[in-house]
Structure 1
Amino acid sequence: MTKRLSGAPRPSRSVAGARRPVPANESAAPVALRLVASVIAPTTVLTALLFYYGRLHAQSLTRQLRVQFTVLDFSFQDYVVRSADGLFTPLVAVAVVGLVCLWVARSITARWTPTQRRTVLRVWAPTASVLGLALLAAAWIAGSSRDLFRDRPEFGGLCLALGVLCLSTAGSAARRGFGRPRERTGEAGPAVGAIAKWTLAFLLVSAGLFWAVNDYAARVGTARGMEVAARLPTEPDVVLYSDKNLNLQVPGARSTFCAAVPDPAGFRYRYEGLKLVLQSGGQYLLLPATWNQIDGVSLVVPRGSGMRLEFSAPGRPPLPSC
């Protein structure tokens, strides 16, 4: 059995499993993002957001048609389904921009030397600071007055989200690019202060995105209402039959009382020149074919067994009245 010589060096311990100190500002952002996601991700929160954006969409659409949306009694499912119209574009835009930024960052920074990275960080730190302050100023003005982004009100929320991101990354870039000391916590992970900073930053970014999508969903609902008004001439004509007099005395609608030869089903009253826009909560939203957004009259008629709707191609000559 051989003995180790007293002067021989001891075998070095394996350091493969040893953890190196983690820079706080490099690992705090993912931890903060997970904390924010743990609050936003639950199904109840996402469902509430879908309901809220769908309600905004429906409210803006019916307001454009001169109708109070509450009388239509939209269901929870109606609001959730309508939210897709206002959320599809923002979600796709955020996902595409995020993927492009990640791909560009990985592709470019992988070829940089440490010196080049420090140079880029030194340039980005003041640039991002100025850009972030400018974006926050624009968001402040947009929040105080709607005149700045009159046609695109969602830009105010985007300015808030991007401004916070620019300022947050500017601080990290300054510490790394100018060689400022970093806080290291060893096995304990990132510092609590760094996690708190990034958590608050992500909350402000979420608030900015909520603001942006809020205004975008409302604008989409208004645009859909304008599209409904523009498409009225091409929508199917509707003849409403009723067993009771509904007294629909509105411009563009023609009413006929069938006294001599009543309808076999007992529908004595006939109303022509109408277009069905939507149906919800046991209500019909009808517009005259000549309806306009200036002085047009919208009709909300309760659905019941004493009514019947008859559809025909637009512009087709009406059938005999009785």
Structure 2
Amino acid sequence: MADERSQAERWISFAAGIVTPVTLVSALLFYFGYVSARSQYEYFGIDVDTIGLSTQDYVMRSPQPLSVPLLVLMLLAVAALLLHKAIHPTPVAVRRAARITVVILLIGVACLLAYPLIGQAAYYALVVPAVIGLSAAVLAYLTYLRGKADPTAGSQRVLIVLLAAVTVTCAFWTAATTAQYTGRGLAKSDARHPNRFPVVILDTKEKLALRSPGIEETALRAGAGQTFNYRYRGLRLLVVGENRLFLVPANWSASNTTVVLPLDSSIRVQFQFENDPP
């Protein structure tokens, strides 16, 4: 009985060791996908929470905004490993490098504290965490080298752990900022190339007061069994939400608006073929 309980405990511990990292990764993917989608649809005047995207939708959107930060982090890790194997610094060189790194770190912290003054500067949210995170990582490495070269200096584990925490926090901040920039970049790219969206021909029972330029309204002729009275052309499908359609004009303009319609019997939607014969 004791052996069975011990084996069951081992299986539970093993499963927990797998589930916890998977849950953490899924949460991070959801967060970065949400940040990117929020920035993307804000460009079209939509609060992403009104669309009703699922958790899976956000997770599926996360690889694109995360690809660049992950690639940069991997390249930096490879470069750091190669540099570690190639150099043999002297204690004097380590101390000098540490002083320079501390100065750079203090500059980054000063910029962080000066957010009310310079927080609106271009790329502030990307440059400041990158400077703080990289300098903290370098300082942690130099602290490790100093402790290895001088055993009498005492344990520096607490300092290294704190600097590692600063590095991870700044990496998270940088990745979130990159996801935000990626979402806005995707939105602007979509606005420049609206042909990426499906062409929508919309029939409605009531007249829509659409103010965006380029949208054509046609009154449909009354007939037996005809319940739709107006047809609209010049619209593209931006996204399908929870029982709703989000439509945008085919040509971008600052005066455009996003049309939100219920996906029910009050409208009739046709999706036009692409002009690309087989």
Tell whether the structures are fold-level matches, with TM greater than 0.5. yes
Answer yes or no: is 1:225 the counterpart of 2:204. no
Tell me the residue number matched to 1:79: 58
State the Cα distance separating 1:142 from its structure 2 match: 4.4
1:57-102: CA deviation from partner (whole Å, max 9, x where unpaired)? 1111111112222221111111111122211111111112212321
Change (3 A) 1:165 1:232: same
Please tell me whether Structure 1 or Structure 2 has the larger radius of gyration of its CA atoms: 1
Are 1:129 and 1:170, in contact at CA under 8 Å, matched by a contact in 2? no
| SS of residue in 1 equivalent to 2:57 | helix
Please point out which of 160, 163, 167 is paired with 2:132. Answer: 160
Answer yes or no: is 1:201 the counterpart of 2:174. no
State the Cα distance separating 1:133 from its structure 2 match: 2.8
Separation in structure 1 between the aligned mates of residue 218 and residue 56 of structure 2, nearest angstrom: 37
Change (3 A) 1:46 1:233: closer
Separation in structure 2 between the aligned mates of residue 234 and residue 167 of structure 1, nearest angstrom: 47
Are 2:147 and 2:153, in contact at CA under 8 Å, matched by a contact in 1? yes
Which residue identity does 2:247 align to in structure 1? L
State the Cα distance separating 1:167 from its structure 2 match: 2.2
Change (3 A) 1:213 1:314: same
State the Cα distance separating 1:152 from its structure 2 match: 6.0
Are 1:248 and 1:255, in contact at CA under 8 Å, matched by a contact in 2? no
Separation in structure 2 between the aligned mates of residue 236 and residue 129 of structure 1, nearest angstrom: 58
Separation in structure 2 between the aligned mates of residue 279 and residue 226 of structure 1, nearest angstrom: 19
Please point out which of 90, 93, 99 is paired with 1:129. Answer: 99
Separation in structure 2 between the aligned mates of residue 285 and residue 82 of structure 1, nearest angstrom: 18
Which residue identity does 2:162 align to in structure 1? L
With structure 2 as the length reference, what TM-score do the two structures score?
0.79
Tell me the residue number matched to 2:108: 138
- Percentage identity across aligned positions? 22
Separation in structure 1 between the aligned mates of residue 240 and residue 77 of structure 2, nearest angstrom: 39
Which residue identity does 1:205 align to in structure 2? T
Which residue identity does 1:181 align to in structure 2? T
Answer yes or no: is 1:105 the counterpart of 2:84. yes
With structure 1 as the length reference, what TM-score do the two structures score?
0.69
Change (3 A) 1:97 1:296: same
Please point out which of 177, 200, 211 is paired with 1:215. Answer: 177
More helix by share: 2
Tell me the residue number matched to 1:33: none
Are 1:153 and 1:216, in contact at CA under 8 Å, matched by a contact in 2? no
Q: Which has the higher contact order (CA 8 A, sep 6+)?
A: 1
**Consecutive unaligned residues in structure 1, runs of 5 or more:** 1-37, 110-116, 184-192, 317-322
| SS of residue in 1 equivalent to 2:203 | strand
Answer yes or no: is 1:170 the counterpart of 2:132. no
Are 1:286 and 1:298, in contact at CA under 8 Å, matched by a contact in 2? yes
1:271-316: CA deviation from partner (whole Å, max 9, x where unpaired)? 1111111212222111112332x22111121212443332336799
Separation in structure 1 between the aligned mates of residue 52 and residue 59 of structure 2, nearest angstrom: 14
Matches of residues 13-24 of structure 1 in structure 2 within 5 Å? none
**Consecutive unaligned residues in structure 2, runs of 5 or more:** 1-16
Greater shift after overlay, 217-226 or 94-103?
A: 94-103
Tell me the residue number matched to 1:269: 230
Please point out which of 21, 27, 33 is paired with 1:48. Answer: 27
1:221-242: CA deviation from partner (whole Å, max 9, x where unpaired)? 1111111111125654321123
State the Cα distance separating 1:258 from its structure 2 match: 1.7
Separation in structure 1 between the aligned mates of residue 35 and residue 164 of structure 2, nearest angstrom: 24
Change (3 A) 1:312 1:302: same
State the Cα distance separating 1:135 from its structure 2 match: 3.5
Question: RMSD of the alignment, in Å?
Answer: 2.8
